[in-house]
C-alpha cells in the first residue's frame, strides 16, 4: 500500500488548520517518520508545478497535482490560491469532461 499524505489538520487533539502549510508539513513528516509495516510514504514535493513534475505525476497514474502556498493556513473547500493541474489521461478526469 502507498499512502499519499499531503497535509495534517489535527494531531494529538490539537487543531493545526491555523498553521501555515510548511509547519503542518513538518508535523506530518514527524508523524510519518516511522510508518506502520506495509505502508510506504511517498515523498512530499516542494517547488513549482512545472512540466517535469506534471509528466512524472502522469506517468505515476496520478489524477493530477495541487499546489498550495507554503505560508497559508488551511481553509475548507476550494481556494483561489490553490493551483490544480489535472492529468487529462486519468480515468476519473475523463468521466468529468
Domain range list for the chain: 2-96
Give the pLDDT confidence of 30-73 residue by residue, as tens digits: 888 887 777 666 666 666 667 888 888 888 888 888 888 888 88
Mean pLDDT (whole number) for 67-87 = 82
Whether the Cβ atoms of residue 62 and residue 93 lie closer than 8 Å to each other: no
Amino acid at each position: 500500500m502507498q499512502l499519499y499524505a499531503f497535509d495534517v489538520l489535527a494531531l494529538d487533539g490539537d487543531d493545526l488548520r491555523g498553521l501555515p502549510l510548511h509547519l503542518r508539513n513538518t508535523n506530518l513528516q514527524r508523524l510519518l517518520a516511522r510508518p506502520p509495516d506495509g505502508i510506504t510514504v511517498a515523498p512530499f514535493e516542494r517547488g513549482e508545478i512545472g512540466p517535469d513534475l506534471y509528466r512524472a505525476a502522469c506517468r505515476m497514474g496520478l489524477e493530477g497535482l495541487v499546489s498550495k502556498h507554503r505560508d497559508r493556513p488551511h481553509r475548507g473547500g476550494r481556494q483561489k490560491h490553490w493551483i490544480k493541474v489535472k492529468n487529462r489521461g486519468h480515468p476519473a478526469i475523463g468521466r468529468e469532461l
